[in-house]
Amino acid sequence: MRLLWLCAALFHVTAVWSTELTFELPDNERQCFHEELESEVKFNLDFQVIAGGNYDVDCFVTDPMNNILYQERKKQYDSFSHTTTTKGVYKVCFSNEFSTFSHKMIYLDFRAGDETPLLPDITKTTALTQMESACMSIHEILKVVVESQTWYRLREAQDRIRAEDLQDRVSYWSIGETLFLFVISIGQVVMLRSFFSDKKTTVPART
């Protein structure tokens, strides 16, 4: 019980905050997110296109002076880290302006700040107690679990969207084949009936 209480208290000691969202980006449009940050703050950006077109998007990050910190074109996924030098509003933009008809579904994870050490007084030469070592190990394992869950959730969403798109294509193809066979069947019936129908012959009139 004491171990659980200690771990719970340690896990709440953190200075990191994050924004995680999934949004739709229409074709020929750009969408930006703004965040005000202090100086000397490290932030991390992870994004991935989970649906739409060729699964690519343009992304760029600018500082308060509109200087480009990061710029990539037609990326399926990527990560970016930066430590701010000035206080102000930092902008993260995603552009789908190169696409004329494909909407994109994008996952974004924005994290800012440094994680406070679980045990601030510990140095590399400090010996940990068994309880402290257990808490440190649990904390690291939980971080791996969270990252794995996020990765599996994105893969599940991407595979589900692809499966739904494939199902729609198969359905449309089946409907088209059905209509095509129906038209061919009617044409064959009409053609066969023309073979067995009595043709009237015209007799020339006698003068």
Would you place residue 129 in the very low, low, confident or very high pLDDT band (cuts 50, 70, 90)? confident
Whole-angstrom distance, CA of residue 30 vs CA of residue 94: 6
pLDDT in tens, 42-86: 999 999 998 888 888 999 999 999 999 999 999 988 999 999 999
Whole-angstrom distance, CA of residue 110 vs CA of residue 190: 66
Contact 102, 27 (CB under 8 A): yes
Position 121 scores a pLDDT of 60
What is the β-pairing status of strands 77-83 and 57-62? unpaired
The answer on pLDDT for 132 being more than 80 is no
Comparing 10-14, 115-119, 186-190, the range with the smallest average pLDDT is: 10-14
Question: How many beta carbons lie within 10 A of that of residue 145, not counting itself?
Answer: 10
Position 125 scores a pLDDT of 55
Residues in CB range of 40: below 8 A, 6 or more apart: 83, 84, 85
Please state the pTM of the whole predicted model: 0.64
Contact 132, 119 (CB under 8 A): yes
